[in-house]
């Protein structure tokens, strides 16, 4: 597996396995609706195509050795979309999780959900819990699906949990520090993302991993998510491997 990159007006083959890959990669899956609109199709058509891309990219990330992959699947703000679109998304989520239970019992990927899953229909929430439980003993890539997720809501939830521990006498105010906050986020016990990719050409974070991404490298790609390929990801990873991450230092 590799990538051809331009180097002094010539093509150079780069072996992906030789690159400095991010330990934790985040992807904001964006552009499904616009992709469908450009083709004169309903938005649901774009979400279905985006789901196929999700399957291909998540599998590829596992194959090349990414340890943690977080995909932004459904935000706390997405509930405001037209009901028929939300209903179709719920159906796609249900189909994928049913498929995962059926076809991936011998897989190595650990599936986790970031967000408040209690807002989803019970049947879907139960599928999420079942997938988490069945995959919990695996030793492969951790795949985080951010569903009913918002970065601000996540921080508020962490503050509430810490506040309750203080009220219960388990913590003091002086014990509050960055590690304690991190330990009460949905991503507790996971490293912060090193690299976040946003397809679709939009230049905003969209409430994604606000606390965790303080020092993440960002990469914007103009391609819409349903058209995103392994080659697009390879080029982004090649760009990441060239960056000098200083974390505020020199």
1 within a domain of the structure (yes/no):
no
Q: What is the DSSP letter of 204?
A: S
69 within a domain of the structure (yes/no):
yes
As for how many domains the chain has, the answer is 1
Residue 249 has pLDDT above 70, yes or no: no
Concerning whether 78 is annotated as a catalytic residue, the answer is: yes
Domain hosting 117: range is 19-158+193-229
The residue annotated as part of the active site, out of 8, 78, 107, 184, is 78
- Return the pLDDT at 250: 55
Q: Rounding to the nearest 10 degrees, give the CA dihedral for residues 127, 68, 243, 19.
A: -120
- Return the pLDDT at 128: 95
**Structure tokens of 74?**
């459904």
**Structure tokens of 243?**
């960056």
Look up the CATH number of the domain holding residue 93.
3.40.1180.10
- Contact between residue 43 and residue 173 where contact means Cβ atoms under 8 Å apart: no
- Return the pLDDT at 58: 96
The residue annotated as part of the active site, out of 30, 192, 194, 221, is 30
pLDDT band of residue 50 (cuts 50, 70, 90) is very high
Q: CA 21, CA 23: separation in Å to the nearest integer?
A: 6
- Return the pLDDT at 77: 95
Element (H, E) at 167: helix 151-167
Q: What is the mean pLDDT of residues 127-144?
A: 95
25 within a domain of the structure (yes/no):
yes
Concerning whether 194 is annotated as a catalytic residue, the answer is: no
pLDDT tens digits, 179-218:
999 999 999 999 999 999 999 999 999 999 999 999 999 9
């Amino acid at each position: 597996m590799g990538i051809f990159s331009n180097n002094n007006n010539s093509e150079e083959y780069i072996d992906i396995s030789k690159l400095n890959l991010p330990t934790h990669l985040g992807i904001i899956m964006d552009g499904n609706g616009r992709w469908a609109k450009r083709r004169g199709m309903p938005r649901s058509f774009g979400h279905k195509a985006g789901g196929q891309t999700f399957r291909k990219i998540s599998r590829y990330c596992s194959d090349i050795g990414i340890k943690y992959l977080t995909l932004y699947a459904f935000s706390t703000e997405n509930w405001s979309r037209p009901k028929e679109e939300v209903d179709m998304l719920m159906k796609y989520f249900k189909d994928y999780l049913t498929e995962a239970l059926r076809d991936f019992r011998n897989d190595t990927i650990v599936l986790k959900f970031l967000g408040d899953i209690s807002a989803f229909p019970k049947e879907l929430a139960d599928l999420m819990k079942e997938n988490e439980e069945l995959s919990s003993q695996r030793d492969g890539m951790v795949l985080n699906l951010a569903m009913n997720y918002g970065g601000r809501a996540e921080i508020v939830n962490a503050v509430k949990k810490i506040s309750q521990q203080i009220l219960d006498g388990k913590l003091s105010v002086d014990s509050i520090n960055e590690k304690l906050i991190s330990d009460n986020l949905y991503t507790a016990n996971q490293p912060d993302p090193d690299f976040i990719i946003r397809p679709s050409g939009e230049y905003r974070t969209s409430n994604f991993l606000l606390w965790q991404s303080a020092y993440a490298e960002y990469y914007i790609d103009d391609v819409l998510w349903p058209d995103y390929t392994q080659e697009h990801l390879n080029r982004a990873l090649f760009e990441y491997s060239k960056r000098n991450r200083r974390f505020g230092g020199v």
